[in-house]
Amino acid sequence: MARKTHRSPEEAKKTILDAAESILVDVGPAGLRLSAVAKKAKMAHPNIIHHFGSREGLLQALSNRIGERATLRTTNAIDQALKAPPQERVAAVIKVLETPYQGDEGRAAVWLHLSGAKSAIRSNMEHIVALSHQFRQSFDPTASKDNTNRLVLLITLALVGEVISGDEIKEALGFGDSDESRAHFKQWLAEILLTLNDNQLKTSLSINKSSKTTTPTSSIPQES
């Protein structure tokens, strides 16, 4: 390892982060070893510490980069959906649903989140939900903010789940590994999101003071 390929600090950091990210997907943050990252980046491990201060610094930088990339892509995708003409809405929504899956970023992001890294989710969520509401109102003027919030929550949770164990669950449910059947599911979901109007989402939710949520065996409010 006598070769000393000098690079700029930015480039060095990038190669280190790339190597770390590719390893992170397999072993997780707690399993990330500086020696492994150094080997993949083709350098000696103290070089990593020189650029990031410590192992923790590397993880923090990694978390930041992944978070920024993911939120940028997501907001872009929703933005595109907003500008899309009606006949392309389904495709646009599908694209939004596909955004987090790119590569293994989502998996890495969730893993970092599990490990306690300050995630970039919270800071950008307001923007995302605002854009989503704007989108919903563009084809359903009666759409309420509450229901948008709930839909965004449901979809976000599902996307997190998808990133983690989507492949296994889909396989267990009989969805083939073919891209086709997965595209079907995404299309199904996208169409539902576009079809459901606020009336269908309201159901009997108006009751809010029953408050017997933990012991639901008693009477169930269903009137309105």
Partner DNA sequence: ATTGCTGTTTACAGTTTTGTAAACTAGAAT
Partner DNA sequence: ATTCTAGTTTACAAAACTGTAAACAGCAAT
Number of residues that bind a second copy (CB under 8 A): 84
Contact criterion met (CB below 8 Å) for 99 and 77: yes
Residue appearing with tokens 């590569």: 103
Among positions 91-130, residues that touch a second copy (CB under 8 A) are 91-92, 94-95, 98, 107, 110-111, 113-115, 119, 121-122, 125-126, 129
Contact criterion met (CB below 8 Å) for 128 and 73: no
Closest CA to 108 of 52, 162, 53, 67: 67
Is residue 28 close enough to count as binding a second copy by CB under 8 A? yes
Closest CA to 195 of 145, 143, 159, 146: 143
Q: Map residues 34-73 to x or -, x wherever contact with a second copy holds by CB under 8 A.
A: ----------------------------------------
Minimum gap (Å) between residue 167 Cβ and a second copy: 11
Among positions 148-187, residues that touch a second copy (CB under 8 A) are 149-150, 152-154, 156-162, 164-166, 168-175, 179-180, 183-187
What is the SS3 assignment for 136-148? HHHHCCCCCHHHH
Is residue 206 close enough to count as binding a second copy by CB under 8 A? no
